[in-house]
Amino acid sequence: MTGAHSRLYSVRVATARALLIATGASWLYQAVSLGLTRHLLTAPWRRFATDRANPGAVPPVSMLKPVRGHDHEALENFASFLAQDYAARYEVIFAVADPDDPAVENVRRLQARAPGASVRLIVAPAELPNPKVALLQAAAAEARHDILVVSDSDMRVTPDYLRRVVAPLNDPAVGLVTCPYRGSHLTTLTARLEALYMVASFIPMVATARLGVGLSFALGSTAALRKSDLERIGGFAALGDYLADDHELGARIGSQGKSVHLSDYVVETPLGPTTFPEQWHREVRWARCNWVSRRREYLAAALTFTTPLSVAYAVVAGPRRGRSWRPFALSLVGRWSVAWLVTGYAGDREARRWLGLLPLRDMLSGLIWAAAALGRKVEWRGERYRVDASGRLQPLGRD
């Protein structure tokens, strides 16, 4: 064997050994994340239960909904926020940037369907690089109550949602409450793959982050907080330049000495007939949010990719009487077992039906993780942006 071949062989052996160690570490992560997810989603939320006999424990709430375009079953999504089993008053404020936006018709239909409910629509031109934050700033200025509950337009909730996410704010030490989420209405392959990521990968990662590095960010599914705390960090306007506005909101609330509480309530997002380009741009944007805002955690997330790591090991190690593929086989068994249990904890029977797609989903997750770190451009609702090193958005215009 020549010197060059010897060095190449040594590099290959060292790389295979590192990948095998990383695969083993990912098995440990899967076991730990399973335990933490079980604790999160099955622990009784009643420790934060509101006392219906104490009006002060059930504060009035303003729910803020920035909307644009027409999400799958948008009217039903919107209506779910009006059907709340909540003892105090609450209002829902929808905000759009364009009075001709398709979302306006759904809000008007909702107002006609529930004439006695407090539902308002405001039009606020996007004057910040982050259009969602611009709408939130305008909606917060119109809010009548001190407790604000923010959620993305494509979320759907059950009647116990509001009291469960507001209850932790009875503790003065809690500054923000956020929720995990899962997909539903999985009518296409891409929707099924996206839902598998949400429940089998993302929820365990968030549950693990809560223990490992502490929860210093919010999720778009829900951010419940006090208006007074929001004002102390400069309001939503302070987040207007950032792609990862949810992360910035949680981090800035945390900088005020308040904690971010991860609720055990799992919000539903009906995905409907999504396409692969839509999914790719959305997930790359999510990943780039994490890349620019939590760089160390993002790199550490490589150890969560059990399937891609085991495949990479098998490829690098080469044929060794089939032994190089044994870690892959063990990884599949482990991933399917963990995902089966996690879908049960999250009550996600729909995603559980598609667990056969999990290896494909895991390989796609690894590809998105790598792609997100290699570029700075994102697409969001038809608009293109460049993200600088600090996470700030620079609009590039429409396609």
Query: Tens digits of per-residue pLDDT, 164-184?
Result: 999 999 999 999 999 999 999
Between β-strands 61-66 and 90-96, what pairing exists: parallel, antiparallel or unpaired? Answer: parallel
SS3 182: strand
Nearest to 306 by CA among 188, 204, 192: 204
Global pTM? 0.89
Least confident span in 106-115, 141-150, 249-258: 106-115
Least confident stretch, 23-27, 57-61, 92-96, 230-234: 57-61
What is the Cα 123 distance to its own chain's centre?
26
Answer whether 332's CB lies under 8 Å from 357's CB.
Answer: no
Give the tens place of pLDDT for each residue, 227-272.
999 999 999 999 988 888 888 999 999 999 999 999 999 999 999 9
Give the tens place of pLDDT for each residue, 292-329.
777 888 888 899 999 999 999 999 988 765 688 999 99
What is the chain's length?
A: 399
The residues spanned by each domain of the chain are 9-41+293-398, 51-180+219-274
H or E segment and range at residue 120: strand 119-123
Q: Can you tell me the mean pLDDT for 369-382?
A: 82
Q: Which CATH superfamily is domain 51-180+219-274 in?
A: Spore Coat Polysaccharide Biosynthesis Protein SpsA; Chain A (3.90.550.10)
CA-based nearest residue to 267, from 334, 326, 179, 338: 179
Torsion sign across C-alpha atoms 232, 237, 243, 245: positive
Q: How confident is the model at residue 63 (pLDDT cuts 50, 70, 90)?
A: very high
